Amino acid sequence: MKKPTSNQPNTRAAFTLLELLAVITIISILLALILPAISGVMRNARVAQVRAEITRLETAISSFKAEFGIEPWSEIIVTEDPGTTAWSAASRTKLRRLFPQFTFSGQIDFNGDGAFDGDTSGNDATLSTGEISLTASECLTFFLGGMRTAGTTLPETSLIGFSKNPLAPFSRAGSNRTTTFYEFQTDRFIDADGDGMLEYLDPTEGQGKPYHFASSNNGQGYSSTTSYYVDGTGKPWKRDSHQIISPGEDGEFGPTSATPPIYTDGMDLTGNRLTEADNITNFADGRLD
């Protein structure tokens, strides 16, 4: 006689507490192994993006040099109203090498604010009325991008190169202009010191400090105030050309001492890491040329 079959469905006992704990433990271990790897890959991708941009900035500097015969200056004072403040001898010398026929006369609205009163931010008490002192970061943007459009606010402003009128290179009028040597993304412009002259952020998300640019000023020497990446004698690491430095994810530059530091790998962005550990530069990190 055939044994009757049961109509009861096959059932399986539920997971025990120990089984659940084991699964949770395994998942936690896997996450602990995977998440740092993913984070590292993402960080490496961001670093690669900044390095690629620094390479493009280097190319732009080379193009500028091909056009003008010299590299961009990394410190200069421009005068908006020569009627109140004469151009300094140092600034005249520098700009004559770029624009030999510039007359250094007439009012020039360098920062596009519609006035000729220079730096009104109050951040540089040494300036006379009508002067604007360009920081190293501002020099990078100014010389590679030219004049900014007048009367516009960030991020709507743009850079329009220099006029090819040899007597008035800083005029905004006319279409006969030098090219912008680098295609800046306008949403990454900042004006940290409020003087109307622009600085440029690297593509790191949430970046608050611009690229730092310093040069040998075409053989005249780095500024005496240059403090980032100097060797044991106080000389810049790329002493014969220029340095471009991104502050990295932590927004901090370094080193600021005259002693070559010991570098960390930059992976640990918390705790007692060095501020320069995640800096990205146009020279070999942690090594003298």
146: tokens are: 């030219």
At 134 the pLDDT is 93
| Inside any domain, residue 23 | no
Q: Give me the chain's average pLDDT, please.
A: 82
For the cut 80, the answer to whether the pLDDT of residue 48 exceeds it is yes
Residue 196 lies in a domain: yes
Per-residue pLDDT tens over the stretch 60-118? 999 999 999 999 998 899 999 998 889 999 999 999 999 999 999 999 999 999 999 88
Q: Is residue 62 part of a domain?
A: yes
What predicted TM-score, i.e. pTM, was given to this entire model? 0.78
**Where is pLDDT greater, at 120 or 139?**
139
The predicted structure's pLDDT at residue 159: 96
Mean pLDDT of 121-146: 88
Report DSSP letters for 42-67, one per residue: HHHHHHHHHHHHHHHHHHHHHHHHHH
Residue 253 within any structural domain of the chain = no
98: in domain: yes
Q: Are strands 189-190 and 199-200 parallel, antiparallel or unpaired?
A: antiparallel
What SS3 state is found at 270?
A: coil
The answer to whether residue 271 sits within a structural domain is no
Kind and range of the H or E element at 214? strand 212-215
∠ CA 194-171-92, nearest 5°, is 75
Tokens for 112?
A: 């596009």
**For the segment 208-220, what is each residue's pLDDT rounded down to a tens digit?**
999 999 888 887 7
Where is average pLDDT lowest: 2-16, 69-83, 221-235, 256-270? 256-270
For residue 231, is it within any domain? Answer: no
Which pLDDT band holds residue 13 (cuts at 50, 70, 90)?
Answer: low
* Total domain count, the chain: 1
Range of the domain at 211: 41-223
For residues 169 and 167, give the distance between their C-alpha atoms in angstroms, rounded to a whole number: 6
Tokens of residue 80, six digits: 């908006």
Between 118 and 223, the higher pLDDT residue = 118
Alpha carbon 34 to its chain centroid, in Å, reads: 32
Residue 239 located in a structural domain: no
Q: Where are the alpha helices (DSSP H) in 69-146?
A: 89-98, 136-145
Share of the chain above pLDDT 70, in %: 79
Looking at per-residue confidence, does 146 or 128 come out higher? 146
Q: Does residue 288 carry a pLDDT above 60?
A: no
Residue 276 has pLDDT above 50, yes or no: yes
Instruction: Determine the pLDDT at residue 5.
Output: 55
Structure confidence at residue 163 (pLDDT)? 96
